[in-house]
Structures are given as C-alpha cells and as structure tokens.
Amino acid sequence: MSPRKPLAALGALAMTAALAVAAPASGALAGPATGTDAGAAAGTTAGPPGQISVVGDTSPIHDPALTVDDDGTWWVYSTGLLNRENGGTVQMWSSHDDGTTWAYEGTVWDEIPGWIDEHFSDGALPDNLWAPEVYEHDGTYYLYYSASRFGTNNSVTALATNTTLDPDDPDYEWVDQGPVITSPAPIENGKEFNAIDAGIVTGKDGTPYMAIGSHWYGIFLVEISWPSGKPVAGALENAVHLVDRFAPGNRVEAPYIYERAGWYYLFVSFDACCAGADSTYKIVVGRSRSVTGPYLDKEGRDMVGGGGTVLLESNGPVVGPGGQSVHDGVLAYHYYDGANEEIPYFPTLGLHRMAWKAGWPLVR
C-alpha cells in the first residue's frame, strides 16, 4: 500500500524527526561545471551539466535513490521518517519534467514489515527504514532498504519487488522478499561490517553485485544473482574489500558504483552525517577499470587505505552533502539547507548533472 498523505499534514513531529536524520549540504549551489570530456554527452541525461534547480516537494529527503522509469518519470526513494511517523517506511517522490518539479507520492508500505520487528525483538526496534536503492532487471524493480539499531551494526538489508513504479498502475504492489544480508556477521577474511546502504551494479560480464557497508571495516562488494536479487553461495566469504579509511570510526558509507566509458566510479560519503549544521558529510570518488577494483583517486591512492577525491562538500548554505546515488550522469544527494529560514537545515534533495574532465566527474 502507498499512503499519499500530503507533506503539509505530517506535522511538527515529522519535521523534527527528519532533522534528526539529515544534515546540510555543499557545493551543489555552485554554478554549472564548464570542463567536459569530448563525447561526455554519451551516457548522461540530456541538458547542460550543472545544478538542477529543484522545486516542489523536495524535503524532507534523506539518502535519495534516483531512477527513471520507461515512461520518463523521474523517481526518488528516500529514508523514512523517525519515530515511525507516517509509518517510518521508505518514501517516494516523482518528477515529470526531468527532475525540476517534484511531488510527494507517499510511502512504500503503511508500516514496517513485522518480520523486521521480530528480527530486532531482543532490544530497541528500528525507528525507520533507511537508504533505499532501486534497480530494474528484466522488467522487475528491486527495492533494497535497510533497518538498523542506531549506533550499532545490528542491521539488515532487505528487498521488495514490483513490476511498476507508478502507484496508479493496477499492477502496482511492493512484494516483501525478506532479508538479503544481515550483520553483525563475518565478511571477507573474518572482518566486521554493517549491512546497510546497498547499491547495485553490473560488471562487464553481466555479473550483478551489491556494494554495501558503513563504518566498521568500511565498504564491500558482494556478488548477487537474478532473479532472486540475493547473494550467491559464499558471497560474504568471497566479498571484495573496496574502501577502508583506517581512521577512528572509519567514517565511510553510502557506496554507489556507476559505469561510464569503460571506467567504474565508486562514490561514497565520508565523515559525519545527520548532525544538521554540524554535519561534515562529503561525497568522494575513486575509479577502476574493473568493477571489483581496486578503486584509486586522482592521486593514485587506493580507497582501501584512505584514498578518495572530494567531489562535493559543504559550501555556504549547503551543508553535509551525501547519501548519494547516480542515474544517467545525474548525481542525487541530500544536504542540510542553511538557506531554509522556516526550518533551518532541513534535509533537502540536491541534483547535479555531472560534467567530466580527463575522465573524472565534476559538479562545479
């Protein structure tokens, strides 16, 4: 079911809750990027590189997953509201003018699936569902999302499937497919990880993978299979370690891998999310010729070991940009809006058509 209650009706509690899970963004308010590769238009959405000036329902949006359906409708799926406000489940937003004007479309379900509460029944229950990812394969949409006991790696990434993204389609129904990956559990070489923030990518040979992780030992790549959308046998033991900062707290999360012109680009968020004006979130990137890495930054530093080139960071009223996804050359992210006088640092959708220079993405 998809309750489509207007955002105006959600009340002050929803606003306060959303602030507790979001932070200010940066750089996205800068002018259009100017340096582009020859042929950079290939593989990017039509339109000049630079910021997309979004209007309409653009907050509270956190951890946006951007996709475009066969009808050309742009969709963003985002983290649910805290305290299970409006159900606490994944939220949906649509645009019919190439990402400029956005409308709230409700939530995936009325409430968090009961099996999730059973999974966490030994202690505090999750307040909301986090960090969705939407991926289409062979006519099926796969919606990955996470639930976690905040501040721990007691987490699960789960899956729902649908044949359409349009809530008005008579065939519309998000079917719960249960858990995909859980933690705490050992991953590659017995390391600890956090089973949140899934991002799906397909290798050159057609093999699908899930990038996943947050803090602990960082980011890993896990092989999955279709049509289940779940890991193959031995996937955790054979996972590939993609990012590890080797710093206290290992603040890295939100992996998203995007293929362009023979390169795979790994986008992640560094530093502190979810602290409003004090958020230090930033988007960094590395690249590799192979989907399994290693991913190196512009200076040739491996992202396993602290590498990563900053793409977007706090700038003026844009605070803590991160929680990103990429679709057809468009970078989607949330930021905490310091220019919002009514609700300072409300989590807001940012979109930027990336330019490319010497094989690297630019947003300004």
Active site residues: 63, 253
Pairing of strands 101-107, 55-56: parallel
Residue 20 host element (H or E): helix 11-20
What span, in angstroms and rounded, lies between the C-alpha atoms of 89 and 87?
5
> Do you find a cis peptide bond into 184, omega within 30 degrees of 0?
yes
Phi/psi of residue 184, nearest 5 degrees = -75, 140
**How many beta carbons lie within 10 A of that of residue 290, not counting itself?**
12
310's CB contacts (< 8 A; 6+ apart) are 270, 282, 283, 284
What span, in angstroms and rounded, lies between the C-alpha atoms of 135 and 121?
30
What end-to-end distance do the CA atoms of the chain give, in Å? 40
What span, in angstroms and rounded, lies between the C-alpha atoms of 46 and 48?
7
What span, in angstroms and rounded, lies between the C-alpha atoms of 28 and 301?
25
